[in-house]
Structure 1
Amino acid sequence: MQPGELPRTVLPEAARTAFVRMRGITKSFYGARANDGVDFTLQGGEIHALLGENGAGKSTLMNVLTGLYQPDSGEIAIEGHVRRIASPADAIEAGIGMVHQHFKLVPAFTVAENIHLGWNETPFRLDPASLAARTQALSDRFGLAVSPGARVADLSAGEQQRVEILRVLARGTRILVLDEPTAVLTPAEVRALFAALRAFRADGNAVILISHKLGEVLEIADALTVMRAGRSVATGSTAGASRSSLARLIIGDTAIPATVARNETDVPGAQAVPLALRGVSVRDHRGIALLDGVDLDVRAGEILGIAGVAGNGQRALSEVLTGCVRPDAGDVLLDGDASGPRGAREFADWGVGHIPEDRLRTALAADLPLGENAVLRDYRGDAAGSGPFLFPRRLARLARRIIDDAAVNLRDSRIPARNLSGGNQQRLVAERERRIASRVLVAAYPTRGLDVGAVAALHAGMQALRASGVGVVLISEEIEELLAQADRIAVLFAGRIAGILPVAQADAERLGLLMSGQVLPEPVS
């Protein structure tokens, strides 16, 4: 077997029925081919990983399979029968369910209402108590913790992802498509999800898993297909494959980027505190505390990591630090001044960049062109105009520069932002906000859905900001990422700071204790 080559898939005889055969699938957007004659086969009783760089065409191929897109050419056969899947309803009828990278929930509805929406097993009489009980039973069955009565708009990204996964699993589909399903899950939740997927496979069903986490792919998948530039370039068994061999297949002839580690050198002026919180509390519309008396210093020339299980106040913290939400109590200090800018626009003008956890709903105007999204937060600067006047040519040049610097694969500035892959959307948002962050960058889960090269580039960008004296707040559930990138790590639990550790004194065990609300066995100086 040649380096980077995949072993041939060998499955038990009983599992050889091809649940899905896609042949010659081609799909173009604005003249650019997202899928170029792709062949893909999914066997019964198989978990099949679909790998590739951001923009390789993975999500597009699955959107064709689930009826969201119609292919320009090619055919799809489900269990040996050629079918035209003209809509998601056709896909559900064919036994195909997909959990998308961008949530498809109704924010104003409760968790229980979202799970039962459009489900043929929903009771005729919509009794909230019975819907909640049915939802709790499903939650217990699949090991995905949700609050049936909670309104989806009030949930964190991680909690919403759990609802999405549960909603699709509840319908008993035979072919389950998951697009980056573990991006917002904790390690314990990932283990629970994988247990559910193995049970699903054991019942003779099949799973397609889109993921950039190669370790998880090798742990859970039986087979995999690698896509590059809209084409399928390799397929086979995961047996005998390694992270390095998969990385070579994904990237091709491009050198595999080295992991960017924390810069150990001190930055002049690093003791300055451009942004700080003092006694900050935030409550939601129900009066429930999201943040409770938080004190936090964001130092210049430092990466401050924020650890915690999803739903412990991370979203509220990022929104307070960027002026999107005003605290109900306490002060936000800018250069020690509590009477400074109050809104997100003023924070951005002062030099605070913000990569939010939900890029499509919070960071981008999905239906606007790529170019307009690129300058969405920077159009008042001299690069775009003068005073109250905007100059279209300057604006176009600025957008082009941001798009190019972000290395977005589909670079036609007329393309709506929603047509980009999740990774390309994240690249654009990260580059736009990096330009704004002259004082502080607040990055919430910035590496979600990014390929290995994009992750390395983003980490390098954060380290460069640190070296220039910018304070960086990195919110992540990946403990390894925080340990590799941060100078200090603060742990959020139930809306409070459970502890702040210098990275030299932090490890997975100590952080795990703080994340679960426990006290460290010994004081940390």
Structure 2
Amino acid sequence: MERVIEMKGITKVFPGTIANDNVDFELLKGETHVLLGENGAGKTTLMNILYGLYQPDKGTIAVNGNNVKIMSPNDAIKLGIGMVHQHFMLVHNFTVAENIVLGTEPKKGIKLDMKKAINEVKELSSKYGFSIDPNSVIEDISVGQQQKVEILKALFRGAETLILDEPTAVLTPQEIDELGVIINNLKAEGKSVILITHKLKEVMSMSDRVTIVRRGKVTGIVKTSETSIEQLAELMVGRKVNLTVDKKEAKIGKVVLKIENLVAKDHRGLPAVNDVSLTVREGEILGIAGVDGNGQSELVEVLTGLRKAESGEIKLRDKDIFNKTTREIINQGMGHIPEDRHKRGLILKYSIYENAVLGSHHKKPFSKGIIMNYKYIRNYCSKLIKEFDVRTPNDEVVASALSGGNQQKLIAAREISKDPEIIIASQPTRGLDVGAIEYIHGRLVQERDKGRAVMLVSLELDEIMALSDRIAVMYDGKIVAILDRKDATEHKLGILMAGGSLENDGKEVKEHE
């Protein structure tokens, strides 16, 4: 088959780390090729080189058999290479059509021809099976829809090769299926797709071949039809990985968190949390399942002091924390692994050791009055780095220089090490590889076994099913059912997440606590 991309001997060194070490990669016409590896393995760096965001220190790149120098994304686009980044590059108060044509706007004389732009976007989206309204404003559409806009933006610019960086990290199960259909439509048009991912289930269902990268080097190239999830996990991490969560029977104790009749609005002033009542007890993991945008984020924000509620009650160990400040809530014993690690979890320009004590930095022994005890902080941070396997050259590195998974490990380390009464873990493994997921899952179960209360909010049904002792399903701002884990199936949860009701011997499944 025809090679559309050939990268040979690519080497890229950053201060203190070799991101790519003599890497070879090839892409054939009409194939979906997965670049698989742990966080920090060098996958995104390699694709950023192909897209012209970085220059290689050594190595060559050929596109359609011709050696090329790709000095910028503009060069890549001219060569028919488009990239959809993990963190989308969209103007939030522009419409879908405005974002897609941005920089290549159709003109009528000297004026922008928006009618033509809208028609072109409609034609393009129907060609590839996207159901998307060109007039919708970006901030009003779901994350899955935003991703489609990014893909359309690349196709509008003539992309023949599409690089998708962690495309399923923010998608619901239904949206992941839709993405699979879109990729098949692209291949049917003769386009080639590179997926950067660490999600083995999607690798098996979406790809033709897989190149595995570990610590900057290629450890294997396999045909998807000739491999297994277990083999890929071992090639990726360098050891056998336990893909199931080992859990003892829960020893459930007293109520730690009690929520009653909670009501809150979203950023537009519309109802987001609608009369929610829940309890979380010692020694249990309560999972909150639901399609993105059904009030889960607003519920977590209210519980952690990041959003004011309209009414209701929230008690942590019988102490009222309703509409208290974030610091007051932390001081009462709340740990929080936030869903957006960049916005809520870290100060990206601060060092790892400074980030390791955020939220506790004002307390002894980290500070003496207004003077920070940096010797103690750095010793403390070194222990966290070792215990939670945060991959970094040293503790002085700024948080923005860590890979996404290592940023997440740092946040989990900080929050778990505060010894909280309850941990609210919101999308705790978003963007993590199997090795890191195995570790975070193990830590959450360990905390539960110590008698800690854990509330897990996740869009990953597999994660909810694997970790939870009880599962609350959230739909349209309401808790529509609470099931014991042994009674829950993916099918049942899927029906509830879509707003349906369950019938068991002619009776509706009742909510229970």
Q: SS at 2:320's partner residue?
A: coil
**1:266 partnered with 2:251:** yes
**1:228 aligned partner:** 214
Name which of 338, 348, 355 aligns with 2:330.
Answer: 348
Identity of aligned residues (%): 43
- Report the secondary structure of 1:239's partner residue: helix
Offset, 1:102: 2.3
**Structure 1 residues 110 and 383, CA, compared in 2 at 3 Å: closer, same or farther?**
farther
Is 2:100 the partner of 1:115? yes
Does residue 379 in structure 1 map to residue 361 in structure 2?
A: yes
Which residue of 401, 406, 413 corresponds with 2:383? 401
Counterpart mapping for 1:45-64 below 5 A:
45-64=30-49
Aligned to 1:477: 459
SS at match of 1:173: coil
The CA deviation at 1:431 is 1.4
Aligned to 1:28: 13
Count how many residue pairs are aligned between Structure 1 and Structure 2.
Answer: 506
Trace 1:41-120 onto structure 2 (pairs within 5 A): 41-120=26-105
Q: Tell me, in whole angstroms, the C-alpha distance in 2 between the residues paired with 1:167 and 1:414.
A: 38
Aligned equivalent of 1:519: 501
1:45-83 deviations in Å (ceiling 9; x for gaps): 111111112211111111111122222222212112222
> Conserved in 1, the CA contact under 8 Å of 2:308 and 2:323?
no
Amino acid paired to 1:486:
S
1:131 CA displacement: 6.4
* Structure 1 residues 319-330: aligned runs within 5 Å: 319-330=301-312
Q: In the alignment, what sits opposite 1:198?
A: 184
Q: 1:289 aligns with which of 271, 280, 283?
A: 271
**Partner Cα distance (2:70, 2:211) in 1:** 22
Cα distance in 2 for partners of 1:146, 1:276 equals 40
Compute the RMSD of aligned alpha carbons.
Answer: 2.6
Q: Shift in Å at residue 405 of structure 1?
A: 2.4
Q: State the 1:335 CA deviation.
A: 2.7
Letter in 2 for 1:249: L
User: Is structure 2 residue 431 aligned with structure 1 residue 431?
Assistant: no
Say if 2:356 is the partner of 1:368: no
**Residue 174 of structure 1 aligns with which residue?**
160
Question: Is the CA contact (8 Å cut-off) linking 1:143 and 1:193 kept in structure 2?
Answer: no
2-side partners of 1:352 and 1:122: how far apart?
Answer: 55
- Alpha-carbon distance, 1:108 to partner: 4.4
Matching residue's letter, 2:33 = H
Q: 1:38 aligns with which of 14, 23, 33?
A: 23
Q: Quote how far apart the aligned CAs of 1:282 are.
A: 2.1
Mark the CA change 1:68 to 1:18 in structure 2 (over 3 Å): closer, same or farther: same
Aligned amino acid, residue 45 of structure 2: T
CA 1:133 to 1:220, structure 2 compared with 1: closer, same or farther past 3 Å? same
Tell me the CA shift for residue 167 of structure 1: 3.5
Aligned-partner SS, 2:286: strand
Q: Which runs of 5+ in 2 are unaligned?
A: none
Shift of 1:401: 2.3
Would the alpha carbon gap of residues 459 and 29 (structure 1) be closer, same or farther in structure 2, given more than 3 Å must change? same
Q: Distance in 1 between matches of 2:285 and 2:304?
A: 16
Q: What residue identity is the alignment partner of 2:75?
A: D
Q: CA deviation at 1:213?
A: 2.0
Q: State the distance in 2 between where 1:191 and 1:257 align.
A: 26
C-alpha spacing 1:158/1:307, structure 2 compared with 1 (3 Å): farther
* Aligned partners of 2:501 and 2:509 also within 8 Å: no
Alpha-carbon distance change, 506 to 96 in structure 1, aligned in 2, over 3 angstroms: same
**Distance (Å, rounded) in 2 between the aligned partners of 1:518 and 1:364:** 38
Q: How does 1:420-499 map to 2 (within 5 A)?
A: 420-436=402-418, 438-499=420-481
Offset from partner CA, 1:404-444 (integer Å, 9 cap, x none): 22312223223332222222222112212222351111112
The counterpart of 1:338, out of the listed 306, 320, 324, is: 320
With over 3 angstroms needed to count, the CA separation of the structure-2 counterparts of 1:446 and 1:282, relative to structure 1, is same
Deviation at 1:258, TM superposition (A): 5.2
- Return the TM-score normalized by structure 2: 0.91
What residue number does 1:5 align with? Answer: none
In the alignment, structure 1 residue 249 sits paired with structure 2 residue 235: yes
Change (3 A) 1:428 1:106: farther
- The correspondence for 2:340, drawn from 358, 366, 371, is 358
Unaligned runs of 5+ in 1: 1-15
The whole-number CA distance in structure 2 between the counterparts of 1:191 and 1:122 is: 37
8 Å contact from structure 2 (residues 271, 477) kept in 1 = yes
Between 60-69 and 116-125, report the one with greater CA deviation: 116-125
Q: Do the aligned partners of residues 304 and 339 (structure 1) sit closer, same or farther apart at CA in structure 2, a change above 3 Å counting?
A: closer
Which of 132-141 and 370-379 deviates more?
132-141
**Do the aligned partners of 1:138 and 1:166 also contact (CA within 8 Å) in 2?**
yes
Cα deviation for residue 305 of structure 1 reads 0.6
Q: Once the two structures are superposed, what CA deviation does each residue of 1:128-182 show, in whole Å capped at 9, x if it has no partner? A: 8886776666555545555666654566655544443444344441111111111
C-alpha separation in 2, matches of 1:142 and 1:437: 50
**SS of corresponding position for 1:296:** strand
TM-score (norm 1): 0.89
